[in-house]
């Protein structure tokens, strides 16, 4: 759960050093902008009242636990790393939502004058995990194909 700890420390730093809504340059394609996500990805289905927050925390907690269990049972190292990355990111967002009622976002992705979305390290861990699972799946498919086990 190192990913969750790193994420939570970064979120605490963002909350301490940034003012909500202000934009500070960071990298050519990433600004620092403090915001709070009350919903799931891209602020969909915001949970602002206690009952919807409880429901969202229950769903998020269940999925986080399932991914963690899957990571422990994973067969390959790359699959395990991908799932562990996803579980760590999901745990960071779950803890943040449990403590604050919202997920702290602060990395604002942009290119060519267009702002894409604001995210955090937990979201990056989750995305990295998905990429690692895809790579592992393609590698497994190639091994299976090379062994002559693929049929059309």
Q: What is the pLDDT of residues 95-119, one digit of tens each?
A: 999 999 999 999 999 988 888 889 9
In this predicted structure, the answer to whether residue 121 has a pLDDT above a threshold of 80 is: yes
Query: Domain range holding 126?
Result: 2-17+32-38+46-140
Q: Could you tell me where the beta strands, DSSP code E, fall in 28-144?
A: 30-37, 103-111, 114-119
pTM equals 0.86
pLDDT number for residue 6? 97
Neighbours of 135 (CB within 10 A): 13
108 falls within a domain: yes
Position 115 in a domain? yes
Residue 148: which pLDDT band, with cuts at 50, 70 and 90?
Answer: low
Residue 23 lies inside a defined structural domain of this protein: no
Torsion sign over Cα 71, 76, 79, 84: positive
For residue 147, being part of any structural domain is answered with: no
> Is 103 inside any structural domain?
yes
Report whether pLDDT(1) > 90.
Answer: no
Q: For residue 132, is it within any domain?
A: yes
Give the number of domains in the chain: 1
- Considering the domain boundaries, does residue 60 fall inside one? yes
Q: Which residue has the tokens 């702290």?
A: 104
148 falls within a domain = no
Mean pLDDT of all residues in 19-25: 91
Q: Which has more pLDDT, 116 or 70?
A: 70
* pLDDT-derived band at 18, boundaries 50, 70, 90: very high
* Catalytic (active-site) positions: 105, 123
């Amino acid at each position: 759960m190192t990913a969750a700890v790193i994420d939570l420390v970064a979120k605490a730093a963002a909350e301490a050093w940034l003012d909500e809504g202000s934009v500070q340059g960071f990298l050519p394609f990433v600004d620092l902008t403090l915001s709070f996500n009350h919903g799931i990805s891209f602020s969909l289905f915001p949970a602002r009242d206690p009952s919807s927050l409880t429901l969202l925390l229950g769903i998020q907690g269940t999925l986080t636990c399932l991914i963690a269990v899957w990571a422990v049972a994973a067969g390959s190292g790359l699959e395990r790393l991908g799932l562990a990355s996803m579980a760590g990111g999901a745990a960071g967002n779950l803890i943040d939502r449990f403590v604050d009622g919202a997920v702290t976002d602060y990395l604002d992705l942009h290119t060519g004058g267009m702002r894409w979305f604001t995210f955090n390290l937990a979201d990056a861990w989750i995305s990295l995990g998905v990429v690692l699972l895809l790579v592992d799946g393609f590698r497994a498919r190639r091994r299976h194909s090379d062994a002559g086990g693929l049929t059309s």
